[in-house]
Structure 1
Amino acid sequence: MFEKIEDYFYDEPGRIIQSGKWTIKTGVFLILAGAIGQVPVRATNALFLLAKQPAPTKTLADIYPTLPLWWVPESWLGIFFPVAIIAIGISVSAYGHKLNSMFRGV
């Protein structure tokens, strides 16, 4: 079974390149979602500062309790996973380009 998956990708290295690009786009999407998610968090905390009250630590889950936002990175530690996804995507795409150039040379 796994040999068929391997053959599927190695028969056409462009599929490996596309998988790497898709992985990179997924990581970038997660980072952008985290950055956009910081806007309402910071705005809510700013309102507490303007009211001269102690600002409670708000997260997206506190602001939007009915939305499933578990996948949005909200801290520097949470950004590690999307950066790792981007690094894996870059290496997979580079490997696909290397295989593509080897098969063209044959």
Structure 2
Amino acid sequence: MFDRIYQYFLREPRRLIGLGKNLVLTSAFILLIGAIGNVATGVGSITQGMGKQVVATRALAELYPSIPTWWVPESIVGCLPAIVLMVFGLSIASLGKRLKNAHF
């Protein structure tokens, strides 16, 4: 079965390049949403901290209970899978470009 997958991508390196680009775009989207979520959770604590109130940081799930936010990274550890996905996508796209230049 894996032979068929390898053949599918090796026959047309454009597919490999497209897969790499999509992985990079997906991980960039996840990281961007995580940054926006970090700002959304930080604004409340900043504004309440200006009033000299001690406030614990809140999670996105507490701010937006009706929206599924389980996939949004809220810390550095949560961002690591998206960063690994981005590096993997860049390496796949690079491999596809090298294969494309070698075949044609």
Q: In the TM superposition, what is the alpha-carbon distance from 1:50 to its structure 2 partner? A: 2.6
1:100 alignment partner AA: K
Q: In the TM superposition, what is the alpha-carbon distance from 1:66 to its structure 2 partner? A: 1.5
Q: In the TM superposition, what is the alpha-carbon distance from 1:65 to its structure 2 partner? A: 1.3
Whether 1:33 and 2:6 are equivalent positions in the alignment is no
* TM-score between the two structures when normalised by the length of structure 1: 0.90
Q: Any residues of structure 2 matched to 1:1-106 within 5 Å, and which?
A: 1-104=1-104
In the alignment, the residues of structure 2 paired with residue 25 and residue 89 of structure 1 have an alpha-carbon distance, to the nearest angstrom, of 9
Q: In the TM superposition, what is the alpha-carbon distance from 1:59 to its structure 2 partner? A: 1.1
In the alignment, the residues of structure 2 paired with residue 44 and residue 83 of structure 1 have an alpha-carbon distance, to the nearest angstrom, of 27
In the alignment, the residues of structure 1 paired with residue 81 and residue 68 of structure 2 have an alpha-carbon distance, to the nearest angstrom, of 18
Does the CA contact (< 8 Å) of 2:42 and 2:57 recur in 1?
A: no
Secondary structure of the corresponding residue to residue 26 of structure 1: helix
Any unmatched runs of 5+ in structure 2? none
Count of residue pairs brought into register by the alignment: 104
Q: In the TM superposition, what is the alpha-carbon distance from 1:76 to its structure 2 partner? A: 1.2
* Greater CA drift, 89-98 or 45-54: 45-54
Secondary structure of the corresponding residue to residue 79 of structure 1: helix
Q: In the TM superposition, what is the alpha-carbon distance from 1:5 to its structure 2 partner? A: 2.6
Q: Percent identity?
A: 37
Any unmatched runs of 5+ in structure 1? none
Give the CA RMSD over aligned residues. 1.2
In the alignment, the residues of structure 1 paired with residue 90 and residue 40 of structure 2 have an alpha-carbon distance, to the nearest angstrom, of 31
